[in-house]
């Protein structure tokens, strides 16, 4: 798990439609839709 509370495999959606996918404490995918 990451220090900011994210869990492995969790998707994080931010304002501006940025989607992060994590695996093994690393960002494996970043989708940024503007």
Overall pTM surpassing 0.85 (yes/no): no
| pLDDT band (50, 70, 90) for residue 28 | confident
Residue with tokens 């940025």: 18
Tell me if 28 sits within 8 A of 22, measured CB to CB.
yes
pLDDT score at 4: 66
* Greater pLDDT, 1 or 34: 34
Residue spans of the domains in the chain: they are 1-34
**Cα torsion angle, 2, 8, 13, 16, sign:** positive
CA distance 34 to 22: 21
């Amino acid at each position: 798990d990451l220090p900011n509370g994210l869990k492995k495999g969790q998707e994080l959606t931010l304002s501006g439609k940025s989607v992060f996918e994590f695996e093994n404490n690393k960002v494996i995918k970043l989708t940024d839709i503007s």
